[in-house]
Structure 1
Amino acid sequence: MKEQFTWHGGRLSDARAHFGDSGEPWIDLSTGISPFPWVDAADILPDWLALPDPAKLDKMEAIAAQYYGVHPANICAVPGSEMGLRLLDPILALPALYFTPCYRTHADIFRDSRGISGFQTPDRPSAVLLANPNNPDGYVVPQETLKRWLEDLEDIKSWLIIDEAFADVMPGISMAEMVDDNRRLILTRSFGKFFGLAGVRLGFILGPKRIVSAYRKLLGDWPVSGGALDIGIAAYSDHPSTNEMRAAITDRAAQLDDILHRHGYTPLGHCPLFRLIETGSALALFERLAQRHILTRPFDGNLNWLRFGLPADDDALERLDRALLSG
């Protein structure tokens, strides 16, 4: 197994080089990025000759704040939610606990950190990081549980940091309503995953003003590109398309579940953007699907896991169905 396929999804160039590129086109199911992109992005023509307009940044953050349900003073645009996470270490300057299993980046964010398999109250002020929905298993922590954890952490001057990169398709689980200047709560949100436009590299930090100010100081006057500003303003204002995309993602996840069930696999997790299966033949299944130009996501931390993103159309669903049948 080549390490690049277990490190991150989206390694389609590596897959072509390793497994070949003749025959049917590749289907990339290795990420949790929506296959239903916000369609109006192609009609937006940014001014690439000008520096990003600070007034547009303010406008986009205000529109995104309304979308997420926070005050505009409690949001900061970042060049992708992963970058937002990676800046937490210099901003908080605390040891950290991160939940496992987890998005691989979580283990790299803090210099002084260790993984935990369930909630633990730290013995000293710390940052506690988790994803909700979690990646890769799609587990969702109920909001009431998160509120209890936040109160316990605040009692010892610790922080709760929640990576909500996949929460747009499940808005009811978000802790955005709890973001306040007096809370020790920081959320990260991703634009690209739900809107299907990962290349825009746009994300947000939601948190107290002092945290937002620290991010602004680190990022400077132009935290994201002019194109990201134009696309973000339009997409976050397009509520009908948002509702349609959420419904399409949920429907496609149900279709994927049906296929996996039909072939004897039990899909795990509650996040509609991806499904995880557990099987002793996970690596062999990854190889078999890749030979048929279907890229999925294996994990070196658990060799029995294989994660499937959502097929983009009926043809992709049928090809996956045939490939699973042929094994």
Structure 2
Amino acid sequence: MMAESAAGSKRIIHGGDLDAARAAFPGAPEPWVDLSTGINPWPYPLPPIPAEAWTRLPGRAAETALREAAAACYGAPSPDCVAAAGGSQALIQILPRLRPPGTVVVLGPTYAEHAAGWAKAGHRVTEVMTLESCAADVVVVVNPNNPDGRIVPPEALLALAERQAARGGWLVVDEAFAEVAPECSVASEAGRAGLVILRSFGKFFGLAGVRLGFLLGGPALVREALAAVGPWAVSGPALAVATAALSDSAWIAATRRRLAEAAARFDTRLVDAGLHVTGGTSLFRLIDAPQAAGLYNALGRAGVLTRRFDYRQDWLRLGLPVDEAAEDRVKTACGMFRNR
């Protein structure tokens, strides 16, 4: 099934807009429980930040240290295969400008900014439901997928990258949530012809405000991306925080376990509330509910913000609650909605 995308011409809904939520549900209790994003609610503890990180322009040595830490953390062959930018969203918008306009296939439904970014740059974008027999200059796959957690096996992605390279094309793999599913990552193959990988720092490390993302690819593409983002693309404080976090293998391993346990516990609470968990990752859960619109509003009135989707009226995505009180608020609101 294929559909030409119009994502470049319409407003894309994102999570995290508490100002809009407060306006829509003025009587909701404070503080809000924001479950509308897939951001780790237990962030990496901020390390000491040198004073000069705030007062001087970022130095080349600090950027090199970050690229080395990212390559080691993600398993990329070399720092020369890593470019850093002010968020993976910036790279999503830059990538389409590094190729002449052509054809793009996006495996959907998924994060809408991919289709929008390619369309705005003059490419013809089509959304497909399967990768079988798809042919385009660029193929985009989010893996694990947002919002349903679908995973395309690495061997299938690498075979597709080889086919894309043979035609002078790209396979773009967005691994924004791959920290919680490292077995699905193809980052160790960064540098292969035709393969472009995106990684997001803020989601797994719970520091979305740092605004940091990475492109993994061949050294020539990395140089192009670095030229496109320009000098000092990552702030001094972000360089310090991210270099420490990416190097903290003990915290990373413990956090993977913590998120998996929290997601399993939250699933139990959601099922107890009469909901059907249909997918997700350990950073977010997707529920399938025939009355999802009504449930979204009921949760909103209870001060719980979730993520809805215009293309699937029966889906709601929920991030992980930070504590038992937040879990209870979700379960109570769901139970009241079901028993109304």
Do they superpose with TM above 0.5?
yes
Q: How does 1:200-215 map to 2 (within 5 A)?
A: 200-215=210-225
1:69-122 Cα distance to aligned partner (Å, 9 max, x none) = 111100000110111111111112242111110101011121321111111445
TM-score by length of 1: 0.93
User: Which of 184, 201, 222 is 1:191 aligned to?
Assistant: 201
| Residue 288 (str. 1) matches residue 295 (str. 2) | no
Aligned twin of 1:179: 190
Correspondence for 1:115: 127
SS in structure 1 of the partner of residue 46 of structure 2: helix
Contact 2:28 2:301 in 1 (8 A): no
1:73 aligns with 2:89: no
The TM-score normalised by the length of structure 2 is 0.90
Residue 105 (structure 1) aligned with residue 96 (structure 2): no
- Of residues 128-137 and 105-114 in structure 1, the stretch that sits farther from structure 2 once superposed is 105-114
State the partner residue of 1:28.
34
| Pair 1:12-2:28 in alignment | no
Residue 136 of structure 1 corresponds to 147
Residue 320 (structure 1) aligns with: 330
Pairing of 1:211-290 with structure 2 (within 5 A): 211-290=221-300
Counterpart CA distance in 1 for 2:317 and 2:164 is 32
Cα separation, 2, equivalents of 1:227 and 1:63:
15
SS in 1 for 2:326: helix
**Alpha-carbon contact 2:34-2:304 (below 8 Å) kept:** yes
SS at match of 1:51: coil
CA offsets per residue over residues 200-250 of structure 1, 9 Å max, x none?
A: 000100001111010111122211111110111111121111112111111
Letter of the aligned partner of 2:71 in structure 1?
Answer: A
2:43 alignment partner, SS class: coil
**Greater shift in the superposed pair: 88-97 or 171-180:** 88-97
Going from structure 1 to structure 2, the CA distance change for 1:5 and 1:210 (only over 3 Å counts) comes to closer
CA deviation profile, 1:255-287 (whole Å, cap 9, x unmatched) = 111112222322122511111111210000000
Q: Equivalents in 2 of 1:30, 1:64: separation in Å?
A: 27
Q: Is the 8 A contact 1:44 1:231 kept in 2?
A: yes
Tell whether the 8 Å contact from 1:6 to 1:298 is kept in structure 2 after alignment: no
Query: Are 1:163 and 1:189, in contact at CA under 8 Å, matched by a contact in 2?
Result: yes
The answer to whether the 8 Å contact 2:12/2:112 transfers is no
Structure 1: stretches of 5+ with no match in the other structure: none
Aligned equivalent of 1:49, options 40, 48, 55: 55
2:27/2:301 contact within 8 Å kept: no
1:95 corresponds to 2:107: no
- Residue 238 and residue 160 in structure 1: after superposition, are their counterparts in 2 closer, same or farther (change >3 A)? same
- The residue type equivalent to 1:115 in the other structure is E
3-state secondary structure, aligned to 1:326: helix
Instruction: Rate the CA distance shift 1:5–1:194 in 2: closer, same or farther, 3 A.
Output: farther
1-structure distance, mates of 2:92, 2:11: 22
- Measure the CA separation in 2 of the matches of 1:27 and 1:270: 19
In structure 1, give the amino acid aligned to 2:286.
L
8 Å contact kept, 2:28–2:302: no
CA RMSD across the alignment: 1.8
**Change beyond 3 A, Cα 1:313–1:68:** same
Judge conservation of contact 2:288–2:316 (CA < 8 Å) in 1.
Answer: yes
Identity of aligned residues (%): 38
Choose from 87, 92, 95 the match for 1:85.
92
